[in-house]
Structure 1
Amino acid sequence: MPSTPVRAAYDELVARGLKLDLTRGKPAPDQLDLAAPLLARDMSHDYRAADGTDTRNYGGDNGAGLPELRAIFGELLHIPVEQLLALGNASLQVMHDTIVHALLHGLPGVLAPWHGQEVAFLCPSPGYDRHFAVTESFGIRMIPVPFDADGRLPLDLIAEHLKDPAVKGMWCVPMFANPGGEVYDEETVRALVSLPAAADDFRLFWDNAYAVHVLTDEFPPVIDVLGLAAEAGNPDRVFVFASTSKMTLAGGGVAFFGSSPANVTWFRKHTSVQTIGPDKVNQLRHVRHFGDADGVRALMQRHRALIAPKFAATERILAERLRPSGAEPVAHWTTPAGGYFIALTGPAGTATRAVELAKAAGIAVTPAGAAFPYGEDPDDAVIRIAPTFPSLDDVEAAVDGLCTCLLFATEERAAVSASSPS
């Protein structure tokens, strides 16, 4: 390929010897510093929960977690306290174990465990790669369900898939989804809890990981998915998951499981043989750090102040480089109001090459296709950008470099197409 301005810009990028990372949606060190009071809190003399439970020891309602922490997150997630469990530090582990229990034991009201049956999950795409890794690890067939151009789920397509009794589950990130930032509206939620399903044990795996992770000064209302499911006559359809991982400490937070009374009883029955109870000391530390639901919201506004400028810089650079004034846009991208990611969509057939070029230039980006089941983006077009962890200067340098790589990949592909016989 002959030298062009884009090729020259890429060569200059490589020559800079960068070492930048846009891969995972991790909190930045200054975000983790917001939890310093939590770590500094002296629990040696004030270790009793509100009901008098000595959190250092066995005792209390071990399987459910501290009531005062469940009350805080019950308000935030719109879940009755008695239907919400506060558990260990990783919601992904809770999702994994929920599937294991379904595979080995079956679900409430259904005698047959999933093991030995054909099992499939609907997977809104692009979506969360770790969700897909869990289902793939068990040999569960994954069915991509693409969002439409407006970021809405194709309900007619979902309804058609639910006629298949093998479809036992659906991954959902209802607020500020990973990676596109989509938010399910009430019409969508009502449909998902109401649609007829051939499988009596069909479940929505409702990962509300970003319910309060806003990039604006407003917190959108959390839809009462459990209430709507009960109203629709499908009270057991939804498993809700959440955690404090990107509120306090990613390696030392608290995970939550919420569902119908029958599902909560089922979950506690099977987890009771795994553990006597979660880390109550850590839960009490979180209660005192947050105070109440408004304390969580105030903390999340402090997080917003740290990361919103990085999202704004990303969107500005994408616009300057990929949507120049008076020129045909090279790509489009999402502009989320919350969450941790931006989904960049370039021309078909360019994502893998752009990520390869970025790696060679010292810019680490999540592998192309990672946001799709089996790592297969049918258009090879979507690149996930995670701007939270690097410094603002590094975000600007990395996104600008990524734009150069996408432009170069686009130019290469156009040159190949032009030289191919028609």
Structure 2
Amino acid sequence: MEIERARRDYEELRGKGLKLDLTRGKPSSAQLDLSAELLRLPGETHTAADGSDTRNYGGLQGLAELRALFSGVLQVPAGQLIVGGNSSLALMHDSIVYCLLGVPVGGERRWADEERVAFLCPVPGYDRHFALCERFGIELIPVPMTPEGPDMDEVERLVAADAGIKGIWCVPKYSNPDGVSYSAQTVARLAAMPTAAPDFRIFWDNAYAVHHLTDHPAEIADVLALAAEAGNPDRVFVYGSTSKVTLAGSGVSLFGSSPANVAWFLGFLGKGTIGADKVNQLRHVMFLRDEDGLRAHMLKHAELIRPKFEAVDRILSKELGGTGLATWSSPAGGYFISLEVPDGCAKEVVRKAAEAGIALTPAGATHPYGNDPADRTIRIAPTYPDLDELEVAISGLATCVRLVGAEKLG
């Protein structure tokens, strides 16, 4: 019987004494080695393009040459970008805090003074976005993802009727975890849709703007320009970083928006710092040089991680293809694969995998409050392990899916 074979395979898996970790989308050591030259920069030169000494105070908005380097890929004019530290999540955190404690551009009052603040959360989505809102008591409202991005009929219905909905989380290119890139129509509708809240914000986390896995990179529409054209110039907050481009713990982050929002953000930022780490900004300019240099660098990343994504697809196809027990995404970029198992099975699959020494992101993490109502989505993060370890882990995961499927579905 199938269930007996699945149980034998699982016991054999447990007997291997594995200790494998697929929990987070981290760059591998080999990827980090691609940026080793940063540790030797800037050398004896500490002067920015404008002649200023990067070792000193000042330069709150960040080096102009670094903002110019990322302007094109983030689709934000260089003058409307701010360079931060190594974490774009920190910029998202600060954006929410500034809205809570200060009146957003176009708003009527501080968010902290509102009776209720809610965010729309396309699901499956990024757990750290959800956790950030939970930290400040912001209500999370899930909306389903489609192959073209969030279900815009539902998004438009909700934001038009509810002034308490102040924002939406968006990972527009190679979304975490399903790899979807938003269609031009979806972006245009987000930019132009009527909202009951005058200070509604799109948190546009373009984390994977340059993280392509194929020779045909996804292109997304320019949401900032479209919002301005639609009469909503202050609607969009754009975020990006080099966390998975150079050194994850020592990179730079970027915030972009309308001129009014940039002035608003800098007004708060300047109360807490006289300037970011401009020496690190300079070394990034020297290392990446320009957009062509950035693209060439990311091709090296793709060469390292593409085989891992291909291995996941190959093993899942071999082990689970045609069984009716699973479907999975085949992303053209980004850092994750979304595995869908039968309803009611994801938590048990993750539990059995953990017992066998394979650590996965908790089931439910892809949904607000850690609750996937269907209990079917599992996020796979294939980039960090070595290829041989990854292959063992995915084969083991497939074994767990077969066992849970046989036990629950008969």
TM-score, normalisation: structure 2: 0.98
Which residue number in structure 1 is paired with residue 97 of structure 2?
100
Q: How does 1:63-212 map to 2 (within 5 A)?
A: 63-117=60-114, 118-148=116-146, 150-162=147-159, 163-212=161-210
Provide the C-alpha distance between the structure 2 equivalents of 1:225 and 1:192, rounded to a whole number of angstroms. Answer: 8
Name the residue aligned to 1:401: 396
Deviations 1:79-119 (A, max 9, x none): 11111111111000000010000001020132300003200
1:407 shift after superposition: 1.1
Aligned residues: 408
2:350 is aligned, of 347, 350, 355, to: 355
Is residue 2:48 matched to residue 1:49? yes
- The 5 A counterparts of 1:265-344 are 265-324=263-322, 328-344=323-339
The aligned residue for residue 419 of structure 1 is: none
Instruction: Describe the SS at the equivalent of 1:390.
Output: coil
Distance 1:362 1:70 in 2: 44
Q: Is the 8 A contact 1:369 1:382 kept in 2?
A: yes
- Give the Cα separation in 1 of the matches to 2:108 and 2:218: 39
Q: CA deviation at 1:316?
A: 0.6
Query: Per-residue deviation at 1:153?
Result: 2.0
Post-superposition, which runs of at least 4 consecutive aligned residues in structure 1 deviate over 4 A?
Answer: none
In structure 2, distance between residues paired with 1:372 and 1:110: 29
Distance 2:378 2:60 in 1: 40
Contact 1:89 1:243 in 2 (8 A): yes
Specify whether residues 222 and 147 from structure 1 end up closer, same or farther in structure 2 by C-alpha distance, changes over 3 A only.
closer
Identity percentage over the alignment?
55
Q: CA deviation at 1:329?
A: 2.5
In the alignment, residue 52 of structure 2 is paired with which amino acid? Answer: T
**1:299-358 Cα deviation digits (max 9, x unpaired):** 00000000000000000111111114xxx4311011100000000000000000000000
CA distance in 2, matches of 1:48, 1:145: 48
| C-alpha deviation, 1:218, in angstroms | 3.3
- Counterpart CA distance in 2 for 1:301 and 1:405 is 34
Measured after TM superposition, the shift of residue 221 of structure 1 is 3.0
Give 2:221's aligned amino acid. I
Q: Which residue of 2 aligns with 1:24?
A: 24
Report the more deviating stretch, 358-367 or 74-83: 74-83
| TM-score for the superposition, normalised by structure 1 | 0.95
State the Cα RMSD in Å.
1.3
- 219, 237, 240: which is aligned to 1:239? 237
Instruction: Note the C-alpha offset of 1:2.
Output: 11
Structure 1 match to 2:35: 35
Question: What letter matches 1:124 in structure 2?
Answer: P
Structure 1 CA distance for aligned equivalents of residues 163 and 103 of structure 2? 15
Q: What amino acid maps onto 2:158 in structure 1?
A: H
Question: 1:77, 1:222 within 8 Å by CA — same for their partners in 2?
Answer: no
Q: Distance in 2 between matches of 1:336 and 1:375?
A: 23
Which residue number corresponds to residue 420 of structure 1? none
